Structure 1
């Protein structure tokens, strides 16, 4: 009988914790108004324009401080280069044999009182086995985003006083703390009351 009580109590607690678990949330970020330039290796010309940089952040604010830090980051995809992969795990974007990735700094506060805040410092580079072809990317938010594709082009974006950051939530915020938590708590309380009576 005691074992049955323990099993029932454990099951109730597991169910309550399952109800309370939150899934990671995904946001899209967009920096607009950047000073962009592209240099072509073929014609040696440089083109200047106003640029936009986008990316995706997926994370879970486990300590509920309003900030996603590196330890709470699930996925981070940056930019317009087409080859960088997930900075959160530094896996490769398109399966090259060798790559190098660092994420030296990451801080994301989507709902900060003074407006959304995002700080990223990282590098990504890929090469083939013979080191004949390479692609490189570097980002320091607030300063620069640069990438170069071997024997094709080099691109750079620079932040300025007109640069703005826009954050769009892509996936809904999970809300287990409302009705589900209440229901789980009531189930747990009823089960414990029943255990004490028997």
Structure 2
């Protein structure tokens, strides 16, 4: 063997190795680009999965739920009362519109009632704002308990709405006159 043949084989071997490296690097870059675009597409899904996975309720076990029933009976009783009084309040037959209402709230707010009766647009705007406010409260209450694991707002809401249901059942008011706009969540 002469030195030229050895040199030629060595350069062929080096070129083959370089070509393989180039192919590997190119395919690695293509894979990285493909993976990066795939990660960008999946990032919001992964973020949502992570947030749901980190939510407090995802870590509850059957024992946790039973412990709530055993060690915290008052909030459980309030939750059952809330459901009961919601059913009673929303199925309660109202007194006819011709009957005069008697409610301490009406007596205390006669002046405000006159203002709102004189300006129906203001009444509609305030009713809409009240509905938005109640919706925001509901989202906050559910979020703090289910996602953050802080039950204090939920317990307070259960207390408030339970007693509101009791008072709603105790105070029968006449049906309102039909109007063009009706907001269902008005408190």
TM-score bracket relative to the smaller structure:
under 0.3
Normalized against structure 1, the TM-score is what?
0.24
Relative CO higher for 1 or 2, CA cutoff 8 Å, sep ≥ 6?
A: 2
Larger Rg: 2
Going by fraction, where is helix more abundant, 1 or 2? 2
Going by fraction, where is strand more abundant, 1 or 2? 1
